[in-house]
A and B are shown apart, each in its own frame.
Chain A
């Protein structure tokens, strides 16, 4: 029987971290940033069906980069965690901090104990009653948690996007301004290759809108994103009236389609 080679713990952890980082760096970036009326999530994602941004609970949303199957797994776990907690206690007892802790423990355990770490980076954000009470947690593949103020970038070009956001983001941006900023930094820092233009069709955009009741998460349609990004259009926030045509509850922006005859 041959003896296994000795690998120092430092080397083992470094190898795993490098492996996870490489996986994450391959993906397109996601930006999460606070605006005056809530928290906006902007992902470069041409797919309409495979989401990188999702609702977890009333005031809590989830954004992720990396391997789809792994973060989808975590997202479903988060929804189960939140719904079970809300069901056995009360809706107001479901918090982003609790969920971020559970995710951190999970990612940390997987990183040290399983044969392969999760190649994901996630953000759990909770919108508060006022901008001061907003919480944005960023979790990395090894289970570290960071409590971020104002904005976060994840994915291949996270470093350069964070630097650019740090220079340009300020509290109290309108949604239109925040989206314009997010789209311009995503377009300027593709991670690989040259800066390019990003249209609404290549973006997945959602908000946690402080001014609604109960479930605050809304996806924005491409048409609404286009209006928000256009400097000549007066639209600068999501419409707040709850009345909408038939369809999923969490989408805003389209005029109600005509009912079938």
Chain B
């Protein structure tokens, strides 16, 4: 799957052509087979492939948190119990993916290179809106595959350096890009996660509270959706949680996640639907 090279070993002409700062555009001219949209699908039905499930994103004061469960399913089978579906896209943004796992991860890799490539060629950062639109273009290119059942639906979130706040963007399979307010979720468990976030989110959250809300929402998603994995305490597999704020993107480490997950699980013992955020119990 490597790119065409010049037999003399010199850089192929396409490399030296001045032009776009987009890596995806460079690939589509020079090595289209490396793009998901550049490969024709053979006739016939697509065999079953692993699917990733629920991603949630929660805004807080001065940033945004994104979290994803760790399950990939293939029909009724669990294909992978520790897949990672939330990735740092660059210093100030992250992307989570639901849908066909193989294509989605390829798309994320391409998106990461796309942003870094622009940064290096232009010597400056893309605006958050610009990054969100680049991702929309990539999803649009995937429409043919989506029609064969290989849909990829990302959730994009980042810190807007201009306005000093977190922002969330959602997508549909046709490449539509929508700004979401406060919180959002995609994937098979998103229905339940959205309901949970609606009740738990409020203005003025701190980043650790936002992490807690995200984990609570994933717990609710896993409770009712068989394709979403709950926290696996025996194997110590916890949701992947990324935080983006003025300091940039960072992933919450396993030790911190264990503490959050333990609190969430303990808080729901005997009361599986309750989310005891302030430790005071729900007034009755």
What residues make up the interface of A, taking CB atoms closer than 8 Å to B? 49, 51, 54-56, 73-74, 76-77, 79-81, 83-84, 86-89, 101-103, 105-106, 108-109, 215, 242-250, 256, 259-260
Residues of B within 8 A of A259 (CB): 164, 246
Asked if B117 and A79 sit within 8 Å, CB to CB, the answer is yes
Asked if B247 and A243 sit within 8 Å, CB to CB, the answer is yes
Chain A's nearest CB lies how many Å from the CB of B207?
14
Residues of B within 8 A of A83 (CB): 23, 113, 116-117, 120
In the complex, B3 has a CB within 8 A of chain A: yes
Closest 5 CB pairs of A and B: A105-B10, A77-B15, A246-B161, A105-B9, A106-B10
Residues of B within 8 A of A256 (CB): 246
Give bound CA distance, A52 to B8, whole Å.
28
0/1 string, B10-24, CB within 8 A of A gives 1: 110001101000010
Residues of A within 8 A of B15 (CB): 76-77, 80-81
Asked if A248 and B26 sit within 8 Å, CB to CB, the answer is no
0/1 string, B194-228, CB within 8 A of A gives 1: 00000000000000000000000000000000000
Say which residue of B109, B121, B161 sits within 8 Å of A87 (CB atoms).
Answer: B109
Say which residue of A55, A84, A245, A246 sits within 8 Å of B120 (CB atoms).
Answer: A55
Closest to B1 in A: A88
Which of A77, A108, A215, A242 has the largest count of B CB atoms less than 10 A from its CB? A77
15 new A-B contacts at CB < 8 Å, known A81-B11, A250-B119, A256-B246: A51-B123, A73-B16, A76-B15, A76-B16, A80-B26, A80-B117, A84-B30, A87-B34, A102-B10, A105-B11, A106-B11, A246-B159, A246-B246, A249-B119, A260-B164
Residues of B within 8 A of A81 (CB): 11, 15
Give bound CA distance, A105 to B12, whole Å.
10
Closest to A56 in B: B120
Closest to A50 in B: B123
In the complex, B124 has a CB within 8 A of chain A: yes
Asked if B3 and A86 sit within 8 Å, CB to CB, the answer is no
Asked if A88 and B2 sit within 8 Å, CB to CB, the answer is yes
Say which residue of A87, A102, A106 sits within 8 Å of B110 (CB atoms).
Answer: A87
Jot down 5 A-B pairs with beta carbons below 8 A, ordered by A: A76-B15, A84-B26, A87-B113, A248-B125, A249-B125
In the complex, B27 has a CB within 8 A of chain A: yes
Closest to A256 in B: B246
Asked if A248 and B2 sit within 8 Å, CB to CB, the answer is no
Say which residue of B2, B9, B90 sits within 8 Å of A102 (CB atoms).
Answer: B9
Asked if B161 and A79 sit within 8 Å, CB to CB, the answer is no
Give bound CA distance, A26 to B186, whole Å.
59
In the complex, B91 has a CB within 8 A of chain A: yes
Asked if B11 and A76 sit within 8 Å, CB to CB, the answer is no
